[in-house]
A = this chain, B = another copy of it.
């Protein structure tokens, strides 16, 4: 199909498609003349992915570029892939090591992130940007006076472990499909989880605080 058809099929203007091509987010079509190229179903799928990542996922253009580059050259093993996927999500230059160690989780204990991770006993790469992100997030919550107590943090971690179990259980075995699933799934399920948290708060508060009425149980 021509670029105008790609535009009508995806609902994305031609000018925007050309921007995606220039920015290296969308792979080029097959040239049929000096000024024309044809596009196929892979382009339609990629355009949908770019829109989903930018609009629902809130990724920057640089972030999307990192995602599509990772998708176009997936690492060979599942575990390298998780590191690559997480680095992509963090928009960090370095991935996480392919062999997370139990030691990594228990070294230190001076900062709240290490302390929490040691307490739950997870295996993780201590160099992984997610550790630093966790530390920053805990410090910010502390400064704002909303840092939960240690018991609550362990409970949050337990709940997120259940989320991660479902994440990992559904990952395809093929590395290329797995990378796409981890990156896209992690980004695009965030809004699902956020909405579920708010709705679950309503349910929890209705059960805990609602005063009378047949609707409370």
Query: Are B156 and A166 in contact (CB-based, < 8 A)?
Result: yes
Q: Which residue of B lies closest to A78 (CB)?
A: B209
Question: Are A134 and B102 interface neighbours, CB within 8 A?
Answer: no
The residue on B at minimum CB distance from A138 is: B192
Question: Quick one: which of B102, B148, B158 contacts A162, CB cutoff 8 A?
Answer: B158
Given A100-B202, A122-B202, A158-B162: A141 and B188 interface contact (C-beta under 8 Å)? yes
Q: Least Cβ distance of A131 to chain B in Å?
A: 7
Task: Please count how many residues in chain A sit with their CB below 8 Å of the partner chain's CB atoms.
Answer: 90
Nearest CB of B to A35, in Å: 31
Q: Give A98 Cβ to nearest chain B Cβ, in Å.
A: 9
A203 and B166 contacting across the interface, CB-CB below 8 Å: no
Binary per-residue interface labels of chain A (141-175) against chain B in the complex, 1 for a CB within 8 Å, 0 otherwise: 10111101100110111111111111111110000
Contact with A164, one of B48, B123, B197 (Cβ below 8 angstroms): B197
Question: Taking the complex as formed, is A184 at the interface, i.e. its CB lies under 8 A from any CB of chain B?
Answer: yes
In whole angstroms, how far apart are the Cα atoms of A141 and B181 in the complex? 11
Residues from chain B with a CB closer than 8 A to the CB of A202 are 82, 86, 96, 100, 122-125, 128, 130
Nearest B-chain residue to A148, judged by Cβ: B170
Interface hits, A171-206 → B, CB 8 Å: 171, 181-182, 184-186, 188-206
Report Cα–Cα, A100/B78, bound state, in Å. 44
A-B contact list, 8 entries, CB within 8 Å:
A48-B143, A56-B136, A79-B209, A122-B200, A123-B217, A134-B192, A141-B188, A156-B192
